[in-house]
Structure 1
Amino acid sequence: MSKSASGTSAPLALIVDDESDIRELLEITLSRMGIKCCAAADLAEARQWLKERTFDFCITDMRLPDGNGIDLVRLVQSEHSRLPIAVITAHGNAQAAVESLKAGAFDFVSKPVDLRVLRKLVETALQMGEAAASEPEVKDGGLLGAHESVVKLRQLIERLARSQAPVHIHGESGTGKELVARLIHDQSPRAAAPFVPVNCGAIPSELMESEFFGHLKGSFTGAMRDKGGLFQAAEGGTLFLDEIADLPLHMQVKLLRAIQERAIRPVGAEAEIHVNVRLISATHKNLVDLVARGAFRQDLYYRVNVIEVRTPPLRSRGADIPMLADHMLVRLCKATGVAKVPKLDEGAQRLLLSYEFPGNVRELENMLERALTLCDGEVISADDLQLRNIAPVSDAHAAVSDPHAATPAPSAAVNTASGLDDRVEELERQAIRDALEKTRYNKTKAAALLGLTFRQLRYKVKKLNLE
């Protein structure tokens, strides 16, 4: 007798379908993978099995004599949340597939069932169960903060890691969208496979198809060898499409087909290649508005936005700023070889708490990196932050706790402050030039004159293109 969900013997699967030939096909396929099976012809029988046994995997047809597969998905989610359940949908029924994923299904497979796709799906589901059994506690993985919005975001990441549903991350620039995507991947059964991030706005339009799907030698001028694309690079893992709103319409069509068919066709190839990739996308733009304007395909929107995650702006969780600043200073000092981590004095802390951070967490990190260069090595003062003429955070901003809430428009002072990076960078560049000229380009002496370590100066010289 097999023990399920224990890892001590053969895994146990529950197959739910009213067609006996489909049940038999699934049982044969899974048994060849070393998986024992129980079968049910309807919801009632499936419920009874779930009461009697503990399963490692469940697969159900969408249409059943006494209900539908979504009902079973919801039951599993409420009473057996660690059980991965997949749904069999009719070919081309995208709405049913999306509905099943939103209800909590691990994944879906379309009829007629492609056995290669099914086997990959089952293998991934069983890996997820093993990961859940061996690592019951999920760590924050770098998503710092005690604010309610961040706590809820960490909880959501944990739930999404147990699914294969496409996720769309929406948030302002600098709020950590890629970090969220990486955490979903790292806590998922795909963690051992690649996480491949790509900025869709950084790829020239004419090269997009080749970059995404690969190409064969000689398929176009300059194709000197076969080349795999981003989908192949992410095989078994996660493909993160940052700024997906920047995809041109012709590429949106091809991406939609790749998602629907789970297959790609390299440029110049005659046959499609099946791929096993989880898709996570992100943008700071409003996709609903883009769909309304015809700039983003509605069918692709529904495919990539099965589950939406919102990253909260930094101004909505001001109490987290001191914690984030301390963490960043430790990391920056380690990266630049600074032995002693300077502290923020009261003036600097007040200034940070009164600033609205239009650039969010990324802007905070850049600000601290500058301050680390300008400070005396012991304490970071308000002057070291190089901020001027900023408006204090309003009570309304300080009270915001809902990441879904509308973001107030930045004040004129903030718009002025957003250009400070360029001005401060020019001041740094000039200060370093002056120090180098005074010391006849002796970097060791110039670093001492500026109050920097040699390593810090070398880093700044490279960053500011002064070599």
Structure 2
Amino acid sequence: MSELFTALIIDDEPDICELLEMTLNRMGVQCTTANNVLSAKTLLERKAFNICLTDMRLPDGNGIDIVRFIQKHTPQLPVAVITAHGNMDTAVESLKAGAFDFLSKPIDLANLRTLVKNALASNQLTDDTAPKTQSRLLGESPAIKQLERSIVKLARSQAPVYITGESGSGKELVARSMHERGPRANSPFLAVNCGAIPRELMESEFFGHKKGSFTGAHQDKQGLFRAAEGGTLFLDEVADLPLDMQVKLLRAIQEKAVRAIGGSAEEPFNVRILSATHRNLEAEVAEGNFRQDLFYRLNVIQLNVPPLRDRKDDVALLTHHLLQKLAADMQLDTPKISPAALNELERYSFPGNVRELENILERAFTLCDTDTIESHDLQLKHDAILTENLPTSSIPVISHYERALEFPNIDDYLADIEKDIILGSLEKVRWNKTMAAKELGVTFRSLRYRMQKLGLEED
């Protein structure tokens, strides 16, 4: 490191201070030490530092006191807490208070050097070197502006973030934005849908395997944790993990190391964990479907993505952006949308959120006869149109009799309704047929048969 960095080390054990100081000096970091909370606060008020390392147990307080003091006075300063081995409760508490990361005793020097490099990179994000990526989130609504501010703040931390929100609301987009605005921006971002991995392949997908470790293992496989080294691993639909895999994932996160199937030793990894699900994970814990200790470890910081119906002011902006994107993909001119059609979109509840808006516009763009999308091109589900601001006389009512007359026969009309229901369920669960069958209350075989009959799946 050519630039001179400074660190504040807070510990009342001379041996630990010496170990930390020697390691950081070799990295080109100049160190100042303090042996209690009072002297540390005095130094923090008088001098600027690039990183702070503090022991949890101090003679006149603890590391959480230091974290909270820094959060109040110099929140841009990354602070890492050193905890006793295996004391994950304390580590999680420090992260919730605003710590950048944590180290466990006995201190692993490789982990220490990695932490310091990440912290220094994070500290520099306050300068002109911060990533200048354009926001992936479109919108001017208060809900989106608040979400943007949270993303910018959380991007600099290494704390696990649990992203909540309905299907199609943009949870992966939020995770990518957090990655791209943080110190790991130039390293991999890997997203995995936990519900889409076959159970028998799950351990291999996450942790990797050695050649010959099981039938079909013809060569070494790296695994997601190792493939995302230095970057971010996004666990989408984490609620779908089976309980036995939850145990293994918890151990990997706590130890910051993984053992490949057939491997002889654990290998450390340097990855930030982000997770998400559209389900109520607290309810899953209460029902015994999700481990409470893993939930506690993933849910250090919770970030909620608002549904599209709570940001109706953004519908017009999103609509025009998505139409431009669709037109570019099809190499066609961007279509217009009539005021009446746009008004109907703004009154729609969007059960499938932004993903549903994109699907609606793609269908309308494909089917419209002119260069302007009209209300009838949208083919919206009228029972999902928001009617709270409309007079009773203008609330749309479905007449199944009148709708049926639009079809050659009643069987075709009922098939259209069935097709709409199945598509809605599949879109909600990202085309996971097993989950869709469960949600609809039918067997997997029955769903496959219905999809083939309706032309939704090849024979």
Task: Bin the TM-score by the shorter chain.
Answer: 0.7 to 0.9
CA distance in 2, matches of 1:419, 1:315: 24
What residue number does 1:267 align with? 261
Q: Which piece of structure 1 moves more, 239-248 or 74-83? A: 74-83
3-state secondary structure, aligned to 1:134: coil
Aligned runs of 1:267-306 on 2, under 5 Å? 267-306=261-300
CA distance in 2, matches of 1:190, 1:412: 51
Counterpart among 180, 205, 209 of residue 186 in structure 1? 180
Question: When the two structures are superposed, what TM-score results if normalisation uses the length of structure 2?
Answer: 0.84
CA distance in 1, matches of 2:238, 2:22: 40
CA distance in 1, matches of 2:235, 2:398: 33
What residue number does 1:367 align with? 360
What residue number does 2:327 align with? 333
CA distance in 1, matches of 2:133, 2:351: 28
Do the aligned residues in 2 keep the contact of 1:390 with 1:417 (CA within 8 Å)? no
What residue number does 1:28 align with? 22
Q: Say yes or no: does 1:41 pair with 2:35.
A: yes
What residue number does 1:382 align with? 375
3-state secondary structure, aligned to 2:377: helix
Structure 1 residues 311 and 116: alpha-carbon distance in aligned structure 2, compared to 1, 3 A threshold = same
Q: Say yes or no: does 1:307 pair with 2:301.
A: yes
**Which residue identity is paired with 2:53?**
I
How far 1:126 moved relative to its partner?
Answer: 0.8
What residue number does 1:227 align with? 221
Q: Say yes or no: does 1:352 pair with 2:339.
A: no
What residue number does 1:129 align with? 123
Do the aligned residues in 1 keep the contact of 2:131 with 2:182 (CA within 8 Å)? no
What residue number does 2:402 align with? none
Where do 5+ consecutive residues of structure 2 fail to align?
391-396, 400-415, 425-454
Do the aligned residues in 2 keep the contact of 1:140 with 1:154 (CA within 8 Å)? no
How far 1:374 moved relative to its partner?
Answer: 1.7
**Which residue identity is paired with 1:307?**
I
**1:336-365 Cα shifts (integer Å, max 9, x gaps):** 101x21121011012101211100000000
How far 1:293 moved relative to its partner?
Answer: 1.0
Question: When the two structures are superposed, what TM-score results if normalisation uses the length of structure 1?
Answer: 0.83
Identity rate of aligned residues, in percent? 55
How far 1:131 moved relative to its partner?
Answer: 2.7
What residue number does 2:335 align with? 342
Structure 1 residues 40 and 330: alpha-carbon distance in aligned structure 2, compared to 1, 3 A threshold = same
Q: Say yes or no: does 1:237 pair with 2:231.
A: yes
CA distance in 2, matches of 1:119, 1:321: 46
Do the aligned residues in 1 keep the contact of 2:382 with 2:398 (CA within 8 Å)? no
What residue number does 2:444 align with? none
Q: Say yes or no: does 1:78 pair with 2:33.
A: no
Do the aligned residues in 1 keep the contact of 2:165 with 2:304 (CA within 8 Å)? yes
Question: How large is the Cα RMSD of the aligned pairs?
Answer: 2.4
CA distance in 1, matches of 2:107, 2:192: 31
Counterpart among 306, 310, 313 of residue 316 in structure 1? 310
Q: Say yes or no: does 1:167 pair with 2:161.
A: yes
How far 1:423 moved relative to its partner?
Answer: 8.1
What residue number does 2:211 align with? 217
CA distance in 2, matches of 1:198, 1:423: 23
Aligned runs of 1:68-147 on 2, under 5 Å? 68-135=62-129, 141-147=135-141
**1:124-183 Cα shifts (integer Å, max 9, x gaps):** 111112232124686651201112111111100011101000011111100000000000
What residue number does 1:408 align with? none
**Which residue identity is paired with 2:155?**
A
Where do 5+ consecutive residues of structure 1 fail to align?
1-6, 398-410, 425-462
Do the aligned residues in 1 keep the contact of 2:83 with 2:104 (CA within 8 Å)? yes
Do the aligned residues in 2 keep the contact of 1:264 with 1:272 (CA within 8 Å)? yes
3-state secondary structure, aligned to 2:137: coil
CA distance in 2, matches of 1:127, 1:101: 18
How far 1:417 moved relative to its partner?
Answer: 8.6
Structure 1 residues 325 and 37: alpha-carbon distance in aligned structure 2, compared to 1, 3 A threshold = same
CA distance in 1, matches of 2:216, 2:116: 40
How far 1:250 moved relative to its partner?
Answer: 0.6
